[in-house]
Amino acid sequence: MKFYNTITQQKETFIPIESGKVRMYSCGPTVYNYFHIGNARPFIVFDVLRRYLEYSGYQVTFIQNFTDVDDKIINRSRDEGITPQELSEKYIKEYFIDADALGIERASAHPKVSEHMTEIIDMIKILEEKGLAYNVNGNVYYHVDNFPDYGKLSKQSIEDLKSGARVDVNDEKQSPLDFALWKKKKAGEPFWESPWGQGRPGWHIECSAMSKKHLGETIDIHGGGQDLIFPHHENEIAQSEGSCGKPFANYWLHNGYININNEKMSKSKGNFFTVRDIAKSFDLEVVRMFLLMAHYRSPVNFSEELLQQASTALDRFYTAKYQMAFLLDNATTDAATKAEQTWISSLDAYKTAFIKAMDDDINTADAIASIFELVRDLNSHLTPTSSKEAIIAGQKLFGELTGVLGLAVKEKETNLESEIEDLIAKRQAARKEKDFKKSDEIRDELLAKGIIIEDTREGVKWKRV
RNA sequence: GGUGCCAUAGCCAAGUGGUAAGGCAAAGGUCUGCAACACCUCCAUCCCCAGUUCAAAUCUGGGUGGCACCUCCA
């Protein structure tokens, strides 16, 4: 399998450090609010990557952190009149609610900054000993000029970065590119004891420290959004490689942005949507489908219309799944005929196409196309006379492929309110008497109650709007 | 100014040298009392110009247009 590696700027065959095992890290959310659709993309992308690696036989250790020590958290907790810890705990819970609805599995661990102060301080101490960090009045900065590889991920030279750097009002830094590793305590802020006095860590050091603790000095894959390339990931490299002298990550994977009207979604533009908001109008599986229908590195535009398209597309999966379940319930023969056996073997082609697409830098758009082709094949070949063996073969492959993408395609509800059941029965009676006016009226009434009626060759079926 | 990305049908989107996947929408058809579902059919020569090649959406050069990073942000 191949991945596009940001640091080499090309697709490379994936070779894990340890055969059969993958260690990956992805930057998680700063927990001060519900996360937005832009945050959701890397969560989904790297969840799919993790699932696919496991599907391919790797034993994956996947770490995604929670940033629970941060200016934004402190500020917001003041606004809400609670402690920063209370605020971050609250939004960690909310994160899991949305993540679950998006079909995002739990990482192997979700470490928190607040629980890794020892590791963070130890790493800063090493950097200081190596001459890569300096302490000014209790603020510790990374000395970028002393790390020759700085800029290797973002393809920027230190000189270029300096010329583009904003005039820095902070005269404590020796160079404008230097960044904070440890920030001196300010009144009213949470703090921890350290060799440099009371304070808290800078933003970048946490990922280096937690990655090292949970995954070791060199990891296989490091992921995140493209906007983390600089400075966050560049700084992580400086910290991790500067402190241990070994490569930090072998493969750097970065997902593209989500835009609104071709513009980046940002807090300052006020054009962002939280996942929680979207959940009011759409099942979040639609969001997952929408994002996976594009390649993870491409920028995607986001709009309600596009979500609606994805929703309709996803309905094809649901319809196929329910149809197979229906056919299996009503199947009368067990064993596949010879012709069916031939057909069952032919299904392998879809799996092969799916794997080929996923192997090529996680091309989920192409992989989904192969599932649509499978669905068409299933819809045209499975009939009320199909054997259970054939239907089960179809179900198995469909479930396997959608499962790798984390598309749950939830089981159909079986419980129908008795009131609805009565209406359906009345409508059937009216149809039997060819009283179509009445039957259509009942159908409209059911629709108003959120039930769509379909008269199929196999009988009446219903589904929720 | 430095760095990187993108431009494929009405909409979305794969495809990185061999003659344009898939989804949504629209149209025609089969099925159906009708509708819906499903299935069948139909729908593009790939921003422009030049070049390399037997062969280019795919490579090279030059344009044009758009986006992003260099500042907290996935």
DSSP states of A129-189 as a string?
HTTSEEEETTEEEE-GGG-TTTTTTTT--HHHHHHHSPPP--TT-SSTT-EEEEEE--TTS
In tens, the pLDDT along A233-244 reads: 999 999 999 999
Q: How far is the CA of A387 from the C1' of B29 (A)?
A: 30
**Nearest residue to B66, CA vs C1'?**
A262
Structure tokens at A28: 């998680």
Q: How far is the CA of A301 from the C1' of B38 (A)?
A: 31
Structure tokens at A52: 């696919």
Q: How far is the CA of A178 from the C1' of B24 (A)?
A: 49
Is the C-beta atom of A233 closer than 7 angstroms to strand B? no
Average pLDDT over residues A88-110: 96
Is ipTM over 0.90? yes
Q: How far is the CA of A309 from the C1' of B12 (A)?
A: 8
**Does residue A452 have a pLDDT over 90?**
no
**Which residues of A spanning 354-373 put their CB closer than 7 angstroms to strand B?**
357, 360-361, 363, 365-366, 368-369, 372-373
DSSP three-state, residue A113? helix
Phi, then psi, of A118 in degrees rounded to 5: -60, -45
Q: Tell me the pTM.
A: 0.94
For residue A317, what pLDDT is reported? 96
Confidence of residue A162 (pLDDT cuts 50, 70, 90): confident
Mean pLDDT for all residues in chain A: 92
Q: In whole angstroms, give the CA distance from residue A22 to residue A61.
A: 6
Is the C-beta atom of A72 closer than 7 angstroms to strand B? yes
Q: What percent of chain A has pLDDT over 70?
A: 98
Confidence of residue A167 (pLDDT cuts 50, 70, 90): low
Closest C1' nucleotide to A363's CA: B14
For residue A328, what pLDDT is reported? 94
With CA atoms as reference, report the closest residue to A141 among A75, A65, A199: A199
Q: How far is the CA of A436 from the C1' of B34 (A)?
A: 8
Bridge-based pairing of strands A219-225 and A249-255 is parallel
Closest C1' nucleotide to A43's CA: B74
The answer to whether A244 and A216 are in contact (CB under 8 A) is: no
With CA atoms as reference, report the closest residue to A224 among A64, A94, A113: A64
Bridge-based pairing of strands A179-184 and A199-201 is antiparallel
Give me Rg for the CA atoms of chain A.
27
**Nearest residue to B35, CA vs C1'?**
A454
Closest C1' nucleotide to A72's CA: B72
For residue A169, what pLDDT is reported? 55
For residue A168, what pLDDT is reported? 53
Task: Write the DSSP symbol of residue A114.
Answer: G
Q: What residue type is A188 in one-letter code?
A: G
Average pLDDT over residues A282-299: 94
In sign, the C-alpha dihedral spanning A225, A231, A232, A237 is: positive
For residue A288, what pLDDT is reported? 96
Q: What residue type is A424 in one-letter code?
A: I
Is the C-beta atom of A306 closer than 7 angstroms to strand B? yes
For residue A76, what pLDDT is reported? 92
In tens, the pLDDT along A356-400 reads: 999 999 999 999 999 999 999 999 999 999 999 999 999 999 999
DSSP symbols for A251-298: EEEEE--EEETTEE--TTTT---BHHHHTTTS-HHHHHHHHHTS-TTS
Structure tokens at A16: 């894990």
Q: Give every CB contact of residue A71 below 8 A, 6+ residues apart in sequence.
A: none
**Which residues of A spanning 161-220 put their CB closer than 7 angstroms to strand B?**
161, 163-166, 176, 203
**Does residue A98 have a pLDDT over 90?**
yes
Nucleotides of B under 7 A from a protein CB: 1-6, 11-16, 21-25, 31-40, 66-74
Q: What percent of chain A has pLDDT over 90?
A: 74
Q: Give every CB contact of residue A446 below 8 A, 6+ residues apart in sequence.
A: A420, A423, A424, A427, A452, A453, A462
